[in-house]
Amino acid sequence: MSFKEKHQQIFTVGLTGGIGAGKSTVGRIFETLGIPRFDADKYAHQLYVNSDDVRMSVIERFGEEVGVFNEAGISVDINRSALAAKVFNSEDDLKFLNELVHPAVRRGYESWTESLPSSTSYAIREAAILFESGADKGCDLVINIEAKEDVRIERVMLRDEVSEEHIRNRMSKQLSNVERKNRADFTIFNNPNDLLLPQVIEIHEKIKNRS
């Protein structure tokens, strides 16, 4: 069965949010409800290990300093921190990386979708830059995860041990909370005092009714 035929049977829900918003936390809650989840960001990271073509294209573009090499001097991965330091300071470099990675991620998502049983009520397609990459066009609905900017910055600083300047630079490459919320069908709020589970269950029930 082709991806197009399969997609017509499986309702696809995009899940997105700015850096530090907590979309993966929400995605895991959906998984506990029995909803399969495709993590596009994780898949993209795995590409650097699993795809020689993608990995070598990155090293050729950005230099050996972004590569991870084994004892034999063979590249086995990409140093994502080193790559981010280069990419997020250049629109051209970011465009190059997106055009290299996004088609491969899309093919991975299509393959994953085809492996799901036709009885699947709906599936989650999680991506930090769902709208920016155009992946939202393959979704029937989109859920946005929102948190205040200072909350997001604090979370990422603790998680990734990076500077506030680095985080703000990455934020500047993503849609604003307002833009993302306006384009989404649902928004889940994930500030310290917000309860996630009731919000997820409410949306889960609405999606089941629509799918």
Choice among 15-19, 53-57, 131-135, 181-185 with the minimum mean pLDDT: 131-135
- pLDDT (mean) for 180-188: 97
Q: Could you identify the residue written with the tokens 């709208």? A: 131
pLDDT of residue 8: 53
pLDDT of residue 87: 87
Task: For residue 35, give the CATH number of its domain.
Answer: 3.40.50.300
> What is the extent of the structural domain holding 98?
3-210
36 to 26, 115, 149: CA distances (angstroms) = 13, 11, 29
What is the tally of structural domains in the chain? 1
d(CA 95, CA 210): 36
In the chain, % of residues over pLDDT 70: 95
Confidence of residue 1 (pLDDT cuts 50, 70, 90): very low
Instruction: For residue 109, give the nearest of 52, 47, 17 by alpha carbon.
Output: 47
Q: Could you identify the residue written with the tokens 């309702």? A: 11
Q: What is the mean pLDDT of the chain?
A: 91
- pLDDT (mean) for 81-90: 85
